[in-house]
Amino acid sequence: MEGATVGFTYRVVDEFVKEYETIDILVNNAGVQYYTNSMDDITESRLENVFRTNIFAYFFLARFSLNHMKRGSEVLDYTATKGAIVAFTRGLALQLASKGIRVNAVAPGPVWTPLQPASMPGRAAQPHEIAPCYVFLACNECSSYFTGQVLHPNGKNASSIATHNEPSTCLGFLLMVFVSELVGFRWNDC
């Protein structure tokens, strides 16, 4: 989502609501990131694009989605521009608590995706390594007591465990489902 505009975010919500009528879970996960060695490498237009994509899009998607959310709904923020989005998440959580809408965020370290450069320093997470955070927060039965919180899967000690040469598989999610079944957790209750 390059430089999200108000009109674009409104159209995204409008098209979704036309198809599904309501919004139960909003996942704000748009983000851009540029690897640089110096602040001198960051131009004004690049900085504006980062905030327009990583902050403004979250604000406007949440703003336009709220009219289509009900008690028990969830807003999940992927915190690419962490400081501003943590503050946004906590402020929005306070505002929406009385409506029974929880707002939480996931603030992972680098994540390997086809859109992110493979040249980032260190080992980036595979998407399946952070997916359980979203599943946990999206499930009312598991996380109904959580709002205004930020989960930080950052793998600081994982650099020797695996490499980021391949796209992720669903193995992590399947393992989570298998373990959940072993302990008697019912996914259809989420």
Digits of tens for pLDDT over the chain (190 positions)? 445 688 888 999 999 999 999 999 998 877 777 777 776 888 999 888 888 888 888 889 999 999 999 999 988 877 556 777 888 889 889 988 999 999 999 888 778 776 665 556 677 788 888 889 999 998 888 899 999 999 988 876 444 334 333 333 333 334 444 444 444 444 444 4
pTM above 0.85, yes or no: no
Q: Domains of the chain, with CATH numbers?
A: 6-189 (3.40.50.720)
User: What pLDDT, on the 0 to 100 scale, is given for residue 185?
Assistant: 46
Question: Angle 4-9-10 (CA atoms, 0-180°, nearest 5)?
Answer: 145
User: What pLDDT, on the 0 to 100 scale, is given for residue 64?
Assistant: 95
Report DSSP letters for 76-111, one per residue.
Answer: EEE-SSHHHHHHHHHHHHHHHGGGT-EEEEE--S-B
Q: Where are the beta strands (DSSP E) in the chain?
A: 25-28, 74-78, 102-106, 150-151
- Residue 61 to residue 83: CA distance in whole angstroms: 19
Q: Read off the DSSP letter of residue 123.
A: P
Is 89 in contact with 104 (CB distance < 8 Å)? yes
User: What pLDDT, on the 0 to 100 scale, is given for residue 29?
Assistant: 79
Is 126 in contact with 155 (CB distance < 8 Å)? no
- Residue 91 to residue 75: CA distance in whole angstroms: 12
User: What pLDDT, on the 0 to 100 scale, is given for residue 156?
Assistant: 62
- Residue 142 to residue 165: CA distance in whole angstroms: 33
Catalytic residues: 78
Write phi, then psi, for 86 (nearest 5 degrees).
-60, -45
